[in-house]
Structure 1
Amino acid sequence: MVATGMTAPSAQRLSVVDGFLTEAWADLARHDDRLRALAVRVRFDRGVAHVDGEVDDPAELRLVRDLVGRLAGVLGVWCRVRVAGRDPVVVDLGCGGQKQWPGNLGLDIHPAAGVDAVADLSGSLPLADDSVDVFFAVHILEHLIDFLPLLDEAHRALRPGGVLHVMSPWWRHVNAVADPTHVRLLDVQTFKGICGQRPPGTPRWYPLHVACDGASIFADLTPLSPTAPAPTPTHLARFFD
């Protein structure tokens, strides 16, 4: 949850936190029988956990995401993990010339070296239903006057258990207003509304992780089916006021 007067951590502080998280995860992996046999690697970069490797079952990946996300100081759990021998389909939205990981599919409205398909992110995405495992929307939502259609499109294209990773400037940080192309301000509570009560028939999301470091908002969301139960108040209280 966001605290009033929060300031962004220094690079030195983030480095120390990454060191703590690395030790904490190694200790957890040694002592949790569910993790010992899993061929996954977890690396921490400025509070974001980067997970890769391979698991046999989607439930194992969900377990890793959940346990990593419970560590104090984790801002997001970004993953690129093979499941049952299949490489994940990972899409960078608005990637420009630089993708989050090499090999991702890059979508952007402007052609560039890293763009695999030109697409207007305010409209329909050129992706089939249930075809994507992971979406990255890094510094994208703040550029869209109405970003809910993009979230709805990501919801449509994600496979069950897929994840949408979001990173955007926090509304109280100077980065949110320093760029004149930013047209939206975001907060942790913005994602409470996205994951809360929405009109019947509209796509629903389950928050795997939502956090703020004083400069940026991070959110890991997974789609809910129309018949799935809503997130419980106990789970929502992990992230939202």
Structure 2
Amino acid sequence: MVALAQPPPSADRLRAIDGFLAEAWADQVRHDERLRGLAVDVRFDRGVAHLTGAVAEPAELRMVRDLVGRLAGVYGVWCRVGVGGREPVVVDLGCGGQKQYPTNLGLDIFPAPGVDAVADLSGSLPLADDSVDVFFAVHILEHLIDFLPLVDECHRVLRPGGVLHVMSPWWGHVNAVADPTHVRLLDVQTIKGICGQRPPGTPRWYPLHAGCDGASIFADLTPLPPSEPPPSPSHLARFFA
């Protein structure tokens, strides 16, 4: 007998989870002196933590990201935080008419009200090396027969410490197959493959966070420099089987 997939949380349960997470983070801030004085706002929406504000150093942002990601019930940590007085450069891939944030740079293959530049996302991105702080790839990878070239392009364009945020339908949910333009099925294990099972010499990624809410998968990935060791088994065990 094939086991049925666990249904995703209801809207009421997600609101309750968000409330719990907000309380847990407020308690963390009260009791963790490392967080005092940092101008970072954390908002939870359906289990995704949205970070905005500003910090002085990249290490401060990484610390906040890591601490938020350790809260039970967080599926992803989406970030738009300025560092050292500079606003982040944020790009929405395949945004269509709706960006994740209104001020993001929107790229899509078709013109639309939210698209700032028309680009074929299956090819080279019209962006310079080390020029972007954050990529959002929200409901785009499942539309590409081969999404690895796009992932590799994000690796090229991201600045050191930059983050690629991925959200796609989970293969076990009806949303993955209900849209006839979806040509790929994804799982959290797909993210594990991106981070650790690529041929030598290809871009490497470090998973900051990964999760699944029963309907969608989420991943926050940062480029791994060639000189850095791969993620440890204990770190990978946080997210992957």
Identify the TM-score tier after normalising by the shorter chain: over 0.9
State the distance in 2 between where 1:109 and 1:143 align. Answer: 12
Letter in 2 for 1:215: A
Question: What RMSD, in angstroms, separates the aligned Cα atoms of the two structures?
Answer: 0.9
1:183 maps to 2:183:
yes
Which residue is 1:165 aligned to?
165
Unaligned 5+ segments in structure 2 are none
**1:17 corresponds to which residue?**
17
- The structural deviation recorded for 1:11 is 0.2
1:110 partner letter: F
Using the alignment, how far apart are the partners of 1:122 and 1:4 within structure 2?
A: 34
Match of 1:210?
210
Provide the C-alpha distance between the structure 1 equivalents of 2:76 and 2:231, rounded to a whole number of angstroms: 18
Partner of 2:230: 230
Query: How many residues in Structure 1 have an aligned counterpart in Structure 2?
Result: 239
TM-score by length of 1: 0.98
Which AA in structure 2 matches 1:85?
Answer: G
Instruction: Give me the whole-angstrom Cα distance separating, in 2, the residues matched to 1:205 and 1:7.
Output: 30
Amino acid at match of 1:31: H
- SS of match in other structure, 1:54: strand
Corresponding position of 1:8:
8
1:4: how far off? Answer: 6.7
In 2: Cα distance, 1:4 partner to 1:213 partner: 15
**What is the DSSP-based 3-state SS (H/G/I as helix, E as strand, rest coil) of the residue aligned with 2:209?**
strand
Distance across 2 between alignment mates of 1:36 and 1:124:
42
Q: What's the offset of the Cα at 1:199?
A: 1.1
Secondary structure of 1:136's match?
Answer: strand
Counterparts of 1:140-151 in structure 2, within 5 Å, are 140-151=140-151
Question: Helix, strand or coil for the counterpart of 1:91?
Answer: strand
In structure 1, C-alpha distance between the alignment counterparts of 2:48 and 2:177, rounded to whole Å? 24
1:60 match: 60
Structure 1 stretches of 5 or more lacking a match? none
Q: Does 1:35 align with 2:27?
A: no
Q: CA deviation at 1:200?
A: 1.3
Amino acid at match of 1:203: P
Q: Tell me which moved more, 191-200 or 204-213.
A: 191-200
Q: Which amino acid aligns with 2:76?
A: G
Give the distance between the partners of 1:172 and 1:11, measured in 2 at CA. 19
More displaced stretch, 193-202 vs 81-90: 193-202
Percent identity over the alignment? Answer: 82
Task: Provide the rounded CA distance (Å) in 2 between the counterparts of 1:6 and 1:165.
Answer: 24
One-letter code aligned to 1:121: L
* CA distance in structure 2 between the aligned counterparts of 1:215 and 1:199, rounded to whole angstroms: 30
2:126 equivalent in structure 1: 126
Partners in 1 of 2:134 and 2:91 — Cα distance? 6
Letter in 2 for 1:147: F
Q: 1:132 to 1:177 in 2, by over 3 A?
A: same
Secondary structure at the counterpart of residue 173 of structure 2: coil
Instruction: Specify the code of the residue in structure 2 equivalent to 1:61.
Output: L
Q: Distance in 2 between matches of 1:67 and 1:236?
A: 17
User: Segments of 4+ in structure 1 off by > 4 A?
Assistant: none
2:45 maps to which residue?
45
